[in-house]
């Protein structure tokens, strides 16, 4: 007899957090102990609020490209369009507005190509764009001349993450100090400002192997910055550095003992000749270690080789973790992203993930156990989990999906309706991009292909146990997607749970740490269970 469980996320009883040691941090005179790396961000948020730094509401730092000043009152009264606001903030005049908006609209007119206004300097508007380029690049629209200049390279196998703006003492204007690039190794910076380049070199000498991420400039002392120094095998160190004097002050670092972890880039060549990469994380010791496969969401995001506390929790529990960067991922150029679009692209991405699983398990250098892997993913990664369980039913021990999409035609139809309802000048381009990525809801053949790739229609092919986690307030992927998947699986042979919460698309920091650190017990049950006589699952 099979088991079906439908309970609340609040009923999860996590294992003790797999974090050794404690966090010895003193922020604004307050000591914090027994905390996870994510707790450091929350404490830093409180600290930065006290000293007037600008941080996001959930404790995650805002980007440097975020415009801190508001538009002029009369501009704000005329429109809330961000492009119009950016133009007026850059010093534009009404008679030049049409040319600027025409250019901004043109940058977004090709479905699948990406562009948005990221900030401004004196007399210019800065945009991130991959229109007419192999990779995302930085462009500047000169307000007075109406001309466009490309500021960064336009080809290669990496992508622009964003600009780094700085403000000089006593000056209300911004200048472009550098740009951040993204690839599988993590973020890296290219500097136009010699002083900041020198400051970064000092940080790298002080913390070998770090990748500095410049988070925020002080609003009262422009030479002071908060910098997150990221590493592959240990939690980040948060610094306050003075660009001119070279003085560095440690705001926070994880003071406990970190279990040995190896984190490296793994590359695999697909059948069509494309090189696909992923991040493999391994515990210390000889192994072999059971494998957890953790595809990222998006799909236009990236897993890089810097420290990830979710992966750390799994590795510390004795698992090897593979994070594949399948077709559709960012960080490898426009062609790689678009190769994951459409029904063919989705199938290609799923083949990338499964092919990399087989390659990792067959690589004699990697101490990975021969047992079936467990799949884990959120959002589009959650879709990948269920789709792979259906495509390769005898190859996986089980799957956990957070906020996943399982009925693709319904998802596309709902998103198209949202775009139409919100309207705006980019409505047509937005719908075209959506249809290019998935297919037109009015095209029966396109929807039939999406339906065939939808796990909700292939539930009978899924043999492994499944856990679905979804919040009822999710406005990105509706809760109804997991409800439909749960209903479809209740008529099949494998155990299924639906854990329902009341939040939105994602977890709070506390929930995320608890949930990921509690997965080891579930995974052990699935991996160690005999191939016959599947066991019902229970929440403990």
For residue 172, the model assigns a pLDDT of: 62
Pair 369, 510 in one domain: yes
Residue 151 lies in a domain: yes
Cα separations in angstroms, 489 against 4, 501, 523, 537: 9, 20, 20, 14
Pair 443, 385 in one domain: no
Residue 49 lies in a domain: yes
For residue 79, the model assigns a pLDDT of: 45
Going by the DSSP 8-state scheme, the letter that residue 456 receives in this structure is G
For residue 247, the model assigns a pLDDT of: 83
Q: Which of 394, 421, 453 is the last residue of a domain?
A: 453
Pair 273, 207 in one domain: no
Pair 335, 445 in one domain: no
Pair 339, 208 in one domain: no
Pair 518, 384 in one domain: yes
How many domains does the chain contain in total? 3
Task: Give all strands of the β-sheet with 374-378 in edge-to-edge order.
Answer: 4-8, 496-501, 466-471, 398-402, 374-378, 291-293, 320-325, 275-283, 261-269
For residue 38, the model assigns a pLDDT of: 45
Token pair, residue 147, equals 């001309």
- Could you give the CA distance from residue 196 to residue 194 in angstroms, rounded to a whole number? 6
| Residue among 341, 328, 334 nearest 381 (CA) | 328
Pair 159, 214 in one domain: yes
Pair 476, 449 in one domain: no
Pair 175, 225 in one domain: yes
For residue 538, the model assigns a pLDDT of: 35
Pair 340, 486 in one domain: yes
Q: Which domain holds residue 433?
A: 408-453
Q: Which of 219, 252, 285 is the last residue of a domain?
A: 252
Residue 488 lies in a domain: yes
**Helix or strand or coil: residue 491?**
coil
Pair 467, 400 in one domain: yes
Q: Quickly list DSSP for 74-124.
A: HHHHH---HHHHHHHHTT--HHHHHHHHHHHHHHT-STT--EEEEEEETTE
For residue 10, the model assigns a pLDDT of: 33
Cα separations in angstroms, 205 against 167, 188, 317, 409: 26, 15, 32, 52
The CATH number given to whatever domain includes residue 471 is: 3.40.50.1820
How many residues appear in the chain? 540
377, β-bridge pairs: 401
Residue 2 lies in a domain: no
- Could you give the CA distance from residue 69 to residue 54 in angstroms, rounded to a whole number? 12
- Could you give the CA distance from residue 135 to residue 333 in angstroms, rounded to a whole number? 4
Please state, as a whole number, how many other Cβ atoms lie within 10 Å of the Cβ of residue 370. 9
User: What are the residue ranges in the chain where pLDDT is below 50?
Assistant: 1-38, 40-79, 530-540
Pair 164, 221 in one domain: yes
For residue 425, the model assigns a pLDDT of: 64
**Segment 435-466, tens digit of pLDDT:** 888 988 889 999 999 999 999 999 999 999 99
For residue 479, the model assigns a pLDDT of: 95
Residue 1 lies in a domain: no
Residue 335 lies in a domain: yes
State which H helix or E strand residue 239 sits in. strand 237-242
Residue 20 lies in a domain: no
Q: Which of 453, 486, 515 is the last residue of a domain?
A: 453
For residue 293, the model assigns a pLDDT of: 98
């Amino acid at each position: 007899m099979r088991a079906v469980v439908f309970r609340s996320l609040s009923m999860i009883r996590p294992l003790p957090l797999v974090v050794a040691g404690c966090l010895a941090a003193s922020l604004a005179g307050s000591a914090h102990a027994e905390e996870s790396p994510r707790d450091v961000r929350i404490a830093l948020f409180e600290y930065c609020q006290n000293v007037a730094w600008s941080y996001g509401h959930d404790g995650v730092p805002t980007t440097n490209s975020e415009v801190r000043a508001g538009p002029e009152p009369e501009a704000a009264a005329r429109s809330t369009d961000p492009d119009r606001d950016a133009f007026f903030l850059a010093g534009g005049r009404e008679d030049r507005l049409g040319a600027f908006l025409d250019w901004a609209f043109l940058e977004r007119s090709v479905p699948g190509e990406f562009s948005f206004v990221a900030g401004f300097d004196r007399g210019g508007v800065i945009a991130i764009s991959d229109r007419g380029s192999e990779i995302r690049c930085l462009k500047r629209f000169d307000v007075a001349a109406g001309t466009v200049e490309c500021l960064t390279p336009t080809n290669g196998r990496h992508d622009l993450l964003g600009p780094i703006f700085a403000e000089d003492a006593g000056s209300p204007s911004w200048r472009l100090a550098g740009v951040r690039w993204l690839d599988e190794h993590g973020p890296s910076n290219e500097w136009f400002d010699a002083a900041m380049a020198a400051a970064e070199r000092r940080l790298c000498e002080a913390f070998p192997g770090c990748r500095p991420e410049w988070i925020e400039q002080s609003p009262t002392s422009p030479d002071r910055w908060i910098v997150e120094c990221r590493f592959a095998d240990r939690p980040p160190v948060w610094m306050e550095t003075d660009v001119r004097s070279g003085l560095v002050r440690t705001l926070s670092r994880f003071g406990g003992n970190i279990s040995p972890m190896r984190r490296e880039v793994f590359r695999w060549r697909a059948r069509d000749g494309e090189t696909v990469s992923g991040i493999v994380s391994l515990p210390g010791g000889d192994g072999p270690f059971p494998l957890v496969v953790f595809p990222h969401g998006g799909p236009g995001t990236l897993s890089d080789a810097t420290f990830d506390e979710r992966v750390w929790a799994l590795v510390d529990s004795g698992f090897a973790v593979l994070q594949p960067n399948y077709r559709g991922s960012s960080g490898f150029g426009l062609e790689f992203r678009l190769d994951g679009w459409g029904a063919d692209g989705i199938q290609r991405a799923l083949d990338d993930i499964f092919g990399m699983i087989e390659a990792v398990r067959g690589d004699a250098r990697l101490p990975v156990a021969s047992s079936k892997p467990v799949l884990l993913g959120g959002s589009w990664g959650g879709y990948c989990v269920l789709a792979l369980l259906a495509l390769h039913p005898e190859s996986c021990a089980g799957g956990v999906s957070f906020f996943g999409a399982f009925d693709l035609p319904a998802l596309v139809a709902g998103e198209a309706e949202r775009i139409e309802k919100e309207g705006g000048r980019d409505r047509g381009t937005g719908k075209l991009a959506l249809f290019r990525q998935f297919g037109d809801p009015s095209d029966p053949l396109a929807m039939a292909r999406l339906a065939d790739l939808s796990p909700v229609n292939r539930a009978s092919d899924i043999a492994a146990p499944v856990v679905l986690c979804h919040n009822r307030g999710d406005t990105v992927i509706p809760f109804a997607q997991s409800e439909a998947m749960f209903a479809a699986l209740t008529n099949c042979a494998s155990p299924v749970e639906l854990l329902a919460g009341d939040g939105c698309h994602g977890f709070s920091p506390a929930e995320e740490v608890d949930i990921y650190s509690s997965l080891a017990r579930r995974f052990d049950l699935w991996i160690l269970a005999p191939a016959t006589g599947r066991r019902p699952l229970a929440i403990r």
